[in-house]
Amino acid sequence: MKKGLLIVLSGPSGVGKGTVCKALLKKTSNLTYSVSATTRQPRLGEVDGVNYFFKSRDHFLRMIEEDALLEYAEYVGNYYGTPREFVDKTLEQGKDIILEIEVQGALKVKEKFPDGIFIFLLPPSLDELKDRIIGRGTENETVIDHRMNVAIEEIALMEHYDYAVVNDEIDMACKRIESIIIAEHCKI
C-alpha cells in the first residue's frame, strides 16, 4: 500500500480555506480531514475525535513536551494543535490527509514534515479579500485593516509553499487542488 500525502492548505484569513476544504472533502474519497486537539471544552453537539480531540491542559502540555504535535498555538486561553499520531496513522493507511491551518502553523509543519504538499490559497485580489472580510459583518474597520496588513505579510511568505491556488471560484479552486494531488501521486 502506498503511503498517503500530507496536504497543507493555508492562506490569509478570509480567503476561503474552510469553504474550499469542505468542498474538497465532499468530492475526494481518499481525503481525510486532520482533526485538531484542543484544551477548550466541547460545545453542545461536538464529538471527541470528530470535531476535536478534547484534552486537558496537562495532557496537551505533555504532548508539547513529547513533540507529539506537528504545530500548536495558544488562542484566547486555550491550546490548539495538530496531533502527529493521527496524521501518521492516516498516512500509513494510504489515505491523504489535509490540514487547514494558518500560515504560521503551516511553516511549523513544514519544519517537521518537509515532504508535505504545501498549498497557498490566494484571493483573486486584495480588494476582493477585503470585501470578503467586510461581508462577514463581524469586524470593525480597525480589525479589518489589521487583517489586511497581516494578509499582506502572509502573502509575502508564499515562496515557502509548493503551489499557489487562486480561490476565484470554489469549484475551480477545488479542481486545481485535486489536480495537484493527482500529480503528486504520480511523482516519481
| Domains along the sequence of the chain with CATH | 6-186 (3.40.50.300)
SS3 31: strand
Torsion over CA: 146, 148, 151, 155 (sign): negative
SS (H, E, C) 110-176: HHHCCCCEEEEEECCCHHHHHHHHHHHCCCCHHHHHHHHHHHHHHHCCHHHCCEEEECCCHHHHHHH
Q: How confident is the model at residue 38 (pLDDT cuts 50, 70, 90)?
A: very high
Q: Quick: pLDDT tens for 64-86.
A: 999 999 999 887 789 999 999 99
First to last CA, the chain: 16
Tell me the per-residue pLDDT of 39-55, one tens digit each, with 9 for 90 and over. Answer: 999 988 999 998 899 99
* 38, 30 contact by CB (below 8 A): no
Q: What is the pLDDT of residue 1?
A: 59
Could you give the angle at which helices 170-186 and 17-27 cross, rounded to 10 degrees?
A: 60
Give residue-wise pLDDT tens across range 84-143.
999 999 999 999 999 999 898 899 999 999 999 999 999 999 999 898 888 877 778 888
Which single residue is written with the C-alpha cell 486537539? 37
CB 42 within 8 A of CB 48: yes
What Cα–Cα distance (Å) separates residue 148 from each residue in 126, 129, 143, 145, 152? 8, 8, 9, 5, 6
What does the pLDDT look like over 88-100, one tens digit per residue? 999 999 999 999 9
Global model pTM greater than 0.85: yes
- Please compute the mean of the pLDDT values over residues 181-186 and round it to a whole number: 95
**Cα distance between residue 134 and residue 39, in whole Å:** 30
Q: Is the pLDDT of residue 182 over 90?
A: yes
Does the pLDDT at position 144 exceed 90?
A: no
